[in-house]
Amino acid sequence: MNCIIKTKSEIEKIKTAGKIAAEVLEMIEKYIKPNISTEEINNICHDFIIKKNAVSACLGYHGFPKSICISVNDVVCHGIPNKNQILKSGDIVNVDVTVLKKKYYADTSKMFLVGKTNFLSQRLCKIAQESLYECFNILKPGLPLYEIGTTIQNYVEKHNFSVVREYCGHGIGRSFHEEPHVLHYKNKSNIFLKKGMIFTIEPMINAGHHEVKCMNDGWTVKTKDHSLSAQYEHTILITKNGCDILTWQKNEKIPSNFINK
């Protein structure tokens, strides 16, 4: 398996892209309110990225028609922003941003809770985020890549939710998607982490069954049973002793019980 080890100067460029991607998620928070359309959110993010002299990597990627993915409620991923899709109180919304800057990519996403949401929605988003945070405690050189999948699946199923199988995290850098494939469920990968690897972890967690279905637009993926779905994504560098999150947002708090180091 050809996992790319990044050089110092590549890491700097991916960090720059990661910072912009994180800033997009920080910036967009105040706009995610009832009555805004997902297309307006897309356009605000697009303009922000352009102002940073960067590019929205999703626009035109395999023909994707918009600059970011916005996935609402039972949409698992790859939701296409649309002027007729208006957010309402109670919605849970994933915004997934991939920035290309100076030929290097970074990729991140998070959930936004619109207005007044119910307990199930809040718990689903919290568990999805915590399943990603759980991995930060174990990542370091030498760790078998499959431990990421074990950690996420165990954490999610302990809370009676399910892990989507069809989509995985990915190496990232000079390409949007590169080796390795980072599975979020139990698997038998024979890859071991090495210092200088950069990849995403992006678990998609369903409130009901893990099965998904792609819609006729060729992009929008929904849960088969119409249950809610939540996803969080970060771009992560493996360092000498652990990891560095390259898409960390300023407003991101890590629950104290997730810091083992």
* Closest approach of Co ion to the CB of residue 23, in Å: 16
Window 113-152: residues binding ligand MF3 (CB under 6 A): none
The site string for ligand MF3 over 68-97 (x = CB under 6 A, - otherwise) reads -x--------x-----------------x-
Window 36-65: residues binding Co ion (CB under 5 A): none
* Piece in contact with ligand MF3 (CB under 6 A), picked from 4-12, 61-69, 189-197, 241-249: 61-69
Reduced 3-state DSSP string for the chain = CCCCCCCHHHHHHHHHHHHHHHHHHHHHHHHCCCCCEHHHHHHHHHHHHHHCCCEECCCCHHHCCCCCEEEECCEEECCCCCCCCECCCCCEEEEEEEEEECCEEEEEEEEEECCCCCHHHHHHHHHHHHHHHHHHCCCCCCCECHHHHHHHHHHHHHCCCEECCCCCEEECCCCCCEEEEECCCCCCCCCECCCCCEEEECCEEECCCCCEEECCCCCCEEECCCCCEEECEEEEEECCCCEEECCCCCCCCCCHHHCCC
Question: How many residues are present in the chain?
Answer: 261
Window 200-219: residues binding ligand MF3 (CB under 6 A): 202
* Piece in contact with ligand MF3 (CB under 6 A), picked from 23-31, 59-67, 142-150, 203-211: 59-67
- Compare residues 69 and 246 and give the one whose CB is closer to ligand MF3: 69
Number of residues located near ligand MF3, criterion CB under 6 A = 11
* Closest approach of ligand MF3 to the CB of residue 200, in Å: 6
- Compare residues 117 and 231 and give the one whose CB is closer to ligand MF3: 231
* Closest approach of ligand MF3 to the CB of residue 202, in Å: 5
* Closest approach of ligand MF3 to the CB of residue 244, in Å: 19
Q: Which residues bind ligand MF3 (CB under 6 A)?
A: 58, 61-62, 64, 69, 78, 96, 98, 107, 202, 233
